[in-house]
Amino acid sequence: MDGFWEFAASYWWLVFPLLGVLGGATEGFERWDKRRRKHKLELARIKYGAGAGPVPGAGTTAPTVRGRAHRADVDRVVAEHDAVHRRWLAYELDVDKLIDFPMMSDMREPLVVDFHRAKRHADGLRPARADDVEDLVRLDAYRSSVEELALAFEVAGREARRRRASTFTASERQALTKAKQLIAIAEDRGASASERHTAYRLAMRELEGLVAVPEGATTALEQRIAGEIEQGSHPPATERDPA
C-alpha cells in the first residue's frame, strides 16, 4: 500500500493528461453515437419508404450566416419542433387512432423507441425563449435534433400505417374492431349516459393486452364523454311564447 502512495506522489502530474484523454474519448463517443443514430434513421427511412418524399418539418430551415443566431431562425426551428409534437399528440390523445395504428404506442418497437429517444434529445435542447440561443453552435445542435425528431416520427408513422393491425391474430383484430364499435357508442350523443359509460368500460377491457393506451388518451376520451353527457343533460331553455 505504501508503494502505491509513493507512486501516486511521484506521478501525480499524469492525472492532467489522462483527464484530457478521457475527455476526448467522451466527446468522440458522443460524436460516434450521433453519427450512428443518424445512420440508423437514414437506413430506416430507406427501408420503410420514408425516402419517397420530403419529411414534414425536417431540413426546411434556411441556412444562417455564421456568427450570432438570428431570432427568426430559432423561431423557425421551434415551430418545426411544435409541428412534430402536434402530430405525435394526434396519436397520443386519440384512442381511435391508436386502435388503427397500434404500433405508435408500443414501446417494444425499435422505431417507436428511436422516436422517443429523439424527442427526449430535442426537448432537452429546446430553448425556453428564442433569445436564449445566442450562438450558432447551439442553434445548429437544436436544428439537427429537430430534424432527427421529424425523421424518426415520419419513419415510425409510415411503418405504423403500413402495418396497421397486420401483426395481430384474427381474434385480436376482432377485439380491436369491437373496441372501436364500443368507443363509437361511448361517443354517441344519442345513447344514454349509462350506455355510454358501459361502452367505454367494455372498450377499454377489449384493448387490454393489445394496445398500450396512454393515460392522456383515456383522460381525453373520458373528459369528452363526460362533457357531452353533461351538455345533453341540460338542454337549452326555449323562449316562452308571447301571451
Give Cα separations from 239 to 8, 231, 232, 236 (angstroms).
Answer: 94, 19, 18, 10
For the record, the C-alpha cell of 169 comes out as: 391474430
**At 27, is the pLDDT very low, low, confident or very high (cuts 50, 70, 90)?**
low
In this prediction, residue 135 carries a pLDDT of: 87
**How big is the CA angle at 200 (ends 198 and 201), to the nearest 5 degrees?**
65
| Torsion angle defined by CA atoms of residues 218, 223, 229 and 231, in that order, rounded to the nearest 10 degrees | -160
| Torsion angle defined by CA atoms of residues 24, 134, 38 and 211, in that order, rounded to the nearest 10 degrees | 120
Give Cα separations from 51 to 61, 151, 158 (angstroms).
Answer: 19, 10, 11
Whether the per-residue pLDDT at 241 is higher than 90: the answer is no
How far is 29 from 26, CA to CA, in rounded Å?
5
In this prediction, residue 134 carries a pLDDT of: 85
Whether the per-residue pLDDT at 240 is higher than 50: the answer is no
* Sign of the four-CA dihedral 101, 106, 112, 116: positive
Residues 6 or more apart whose Cβ sits within 8 Å of residue 189: 228, 232
In the predicted model, what is the mean pLDDT of residues 39-43?
A: 63
**At 56, is the pLDDT very low, low, confident or very high (cuts 50, 70, 90)?**
low
In this prediction, residue 95 carries a pLDDT of: 95
**How do residues 130-157 score in pLDDT, each as one tens digit?**
888 888 899 999 999 999 999 999 999 9
Whether the per-residue pLDDT at 238 is higher than 60: the answer is no
**At 224, is the pLDDT very low, low, confident or very high (cuts 50, 70, 90)?**
confident
Cβ 162 vs Cβ 49: under 8 Å: yes
Lowest mean pLDDT among 58-62, 134-138, 204-208, 228-232: 58-62
Segment of 11-20, 22-31, 37-46, 150-159 carrying the highest mean pLDDT: 150-159
Closest CA to 142 of 76, 89, 88: 76
In this prediction, residue 30 carries a pLDDT of: 60
In the predicted model, what is the mean pLDDT of residues 3-24?
A: 59
In this prediction, residue 131 carries a pLDDT of: 87
In the predicted model, what is the mean pLDDT of residues 206-212?
A: 96
**At 226, is the pLDDT very low, low, confident or very high (cuts 50, 70, 90)?**
confident
Cβ 73 vs Cβ 146: under 8 Å: no
Whether the per-residue pLDDT at 44 is higher than 90: the answer is no
Q: What percent of the chain has pLDDT over 70?
A: 65
